[in-house]
């Protein structure tokens, strides 16, 4: 087990965990920590708590020390320098003619790096701009392209509800939101009513989606037949917040009933339908494929109206093994093990006498006997 503390560097930013070491910390304390970007100034938002070793993401950085008044004054000075650097960078962007919109600027605590955030429709070649800014500020420069949701999080504002946007108030990460969530809550699909300041679907569509899905699963579906205290009727609407349904009765009147007073008619039929299904599933022994195969074998063994000609000269087995579609080694089905097919050795037909008819179904060699 390890003790960790949660530190946040921006308002409504992501929480990062650090090893407090021997330092006694509590929620709300300002601390100086070591990060991948260097030394940073942050605020403890989650007090020390034990965490299992397998849940810790290595390497776990340590808290260097508690922040002092001098550190707080330096952070205030950095905020002023950020505004000045943003103005200088905007002028440089205009000089280079780049199609990018600057959003924010951030100084690291020790001033070793300046990070500029911007938005753009596509990729931007800002290599010349970085060289110009590095020569101006005499420090490391980083330009980071962000999306429209991150832009709204940094700039803030008021949402359609009249309150500050959630992403700038308390949301640490962005959760995926889909149009299906708006449909589950019976909301208007008008994009202007379900979109936030960023132009994307509002994050609050996700807050109550799970409750709506669970409640809808327990209510009768629209169009199903139910039994109410006033009689049998058809469900025409669902009220998920009140956990009730509106039922149209025989008198063409719509009445709202709570779920406890509604009995689904389909549930009563389930027992009868299951018994019927059990009866239909009873089949004679043996698989249908096996019975079908037996029938096919019987048909093969039975002669076709006496038209099959018995093999001659004791070559019964040889003729049975020969297959008419056997083309192995260039031989037709009439040859097998050096024996000719008896049908090919049948005597040639003699000229038929006028006035005599022959049957097409008779085997060759029997027309002469009929004559």
Cβ atoms of 6 and 44 within 8 Å: the answer is: yes
What DSSP element (H or E) covers 7?
strand 2-8
What per-residue confidence (pLDDT) applies to 59?
76
pLDDT of residue 267: 53
Would you state the pLDDT for residue 101? 92
Nearest one of 217, 235, 216, 236 to 225, comparing CA atoms? 235
Q: Strands, DSSP E only, in 11-62?
A: 15-18, 30-35, 38-51
Cβ(19)–Cβ(6) under 8 Å?
Answer: no
User: What pLDDT digit, counting tens, does each position of 283-323 carry?
Assistant: 444 444 455 555 555 555 555 544 444 444 444 444 444 44
Q: What are phi and psi of 235, to 5 degrees?
A: -75, 125
Q: Give the pLDDT of residue 85.
A: 93
What's the CA gap between 341 and 333, in Å, rounded? 8
Cα 47 from Cα 130, distance rounded (Å) = 40
**What's the pLDDT score for residue 297?**
55
* Structure tokens that stand for 290 in this block: 């096996």
pLDDT in tens, 157-207: 998 888 999 999 888 888 899 999 998 888 888 988 899 999 999 999 999
pLDDT beneath 70, residues of the chain: 266-371
Distance CA(63)–CA(30), nearest Å, equals: 11
pLDDT of residue 295: 54
CA–CA separation, 367 and 161 (whole Å): 100
- The answer to whether the CB of 261 falls within 8 A of the CB of 231 is no
* pLDDT at residue 363 in the model: 46
């Amino acid at each position: 087990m390890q003790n960790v503390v949660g530190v946040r560097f921006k308002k409504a930013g992501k929480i990062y965990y650090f090893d407090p070491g021997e330092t006694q910390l509590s929620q709300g304390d300002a601390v100086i920590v070591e990060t991948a970007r260097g030394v940073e100034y942050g605020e403890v938002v989650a007090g020390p708590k034990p965490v299992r070793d397998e849940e810790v993401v290595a390497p776990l950085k340590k808290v260097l020390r508690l922040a002092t008044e001098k550190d707080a004054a330096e952070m205030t000075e950095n905020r002023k320098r950020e505004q000045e650097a943003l103005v200088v960078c905007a002028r440089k962007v205009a000089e280079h003619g780049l199609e990018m919109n600057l959003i924010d600027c951030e100084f690291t605590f020790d001033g070793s790096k300046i990070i500029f955030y911007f938005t753009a429709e596509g990729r931007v070649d800002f290599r010349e701009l970085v060289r110009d800014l590095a020569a101006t500020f005499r420090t490391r420069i980083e330009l980071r392209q962000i999306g429209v949701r991150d832009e709204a999080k940094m700039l803030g504002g008021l949402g359609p509800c009249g309150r500050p946007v959630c992403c700038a108030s308390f949301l640490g990460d962005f959760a995926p939101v889909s149009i299906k969530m708006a449909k589950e809550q019976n909301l208007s699909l008008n994009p202007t009513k379900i979109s936030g300041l960023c132009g994307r679907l509002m994050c609050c569509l996700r807050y109550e989606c799970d409750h709506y899905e669970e409640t809808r699963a327990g209510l009768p579906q629209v169009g199903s037949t139910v039994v109410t205290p006033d009689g049998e009727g058809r469900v025409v609407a669902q009220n998920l917040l009140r956990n009730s349904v509106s039922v149209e009765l025989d008198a063409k009147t719509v009445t709202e009933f709570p779920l406890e007073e509604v009995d689904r008619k389909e549930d009563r039929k389930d027992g009868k339908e299951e018994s019927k299904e059990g009866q239909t599933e009873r089949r004679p022994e043996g698989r249908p494929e096996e019975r079908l195969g037996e029938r096919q074998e019987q048909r093969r063994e039975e002669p076709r109206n006496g038209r099959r000609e018995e093999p001659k000269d004791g070559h019964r087995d040889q003729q049975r093994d020969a297959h008419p579609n056997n083309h192995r080694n260039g031989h037709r089905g009439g040859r097998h093990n050096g024996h000719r097919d008896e049908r090919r050795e049948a005597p040639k037909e003699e000229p038929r006498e006028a006035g005599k008819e022959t049957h097409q179904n008779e085997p060759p060699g029997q027309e002469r006997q009929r004559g």
